Structures are given as C-alpha cells and as structure tokens.
Amino acid sequence: MKLRWTRRALADLSRACDRIAEDKPALAEAFAAAVFDKVERLREFPLLGRTGAFEDTRELIVHKNHLVTYRVRADEVQVLQVWHLARNQPRGGR
C-alpha cells in the first residue's frame, strides 16, 4: 500500500520537532524517526489505528503524547496531521 504524507502533516511534525529541539535537540531527531517508523507500519496494516474524530479518518498514537490522523483511500494511506494531545485539537480530515 502507498503511504503519502500531506504538507500539513509534515509541517505539523516539523513544528513538533522544533519544540522538542528547543530543550533537547537529540531527542527531536529520535522523535521524528519514531513517528516515521510507526506510520510506516500503516503500509502493511492500514487499519492499525482507532476510528478518528472525523468521518473517514483514523488515529494512531505514534508517541506517548502525539497522535497521527490519517485516512485510507483505495491503495493509499494519507497522513493528514500530527498533533500533541495536550496542546492541539484535530483540525478535521479534509
């Protein structure tokens, strides 16, 4: 199955890494690698996450306080956003 990150999701991940890097630069790189690793599993198991807050979306916990919102379309998993559970609310699946 194909895996496609939206620009918004990549920007969300970049912002999260920037926040982490302010205090712990080495941890930011490890965080990004862990997120990419967990999301990569969706290629083989696209329904791995739970049903999302918005129609046709799913959510996968990728780190202790971070969640990825995604949707499955035909032969593609579309990563829609990355968000911190304590700081952000999902912005919708579209």
Does 93 reside within a domain? Answer: no
Is pTM beyond 0.85? Reply is yes
Domain tally, the chain: 1
Per-residue pLDDT reduced to its tens digit, 6-46? 999 999 999 999 999 999 999 999 999 999 999 999 999 99
Give CA separation, 60 vs 21, 67, 82, 87, in Å: 23, 6, 10, 17
Q: Scanning the structure block, which residue is given the tokens 């194909």?
A: 2
Does 89 reside within a domain? Answer: no
CB-CB contact of 91 with 52 (8 Å): no
Does 37 reside within a domain? Answer: yes
CATH number at residue 7: 3.30.2310.20
Per the structure, the complete domain to which residue 80 belongs is given by 2-84
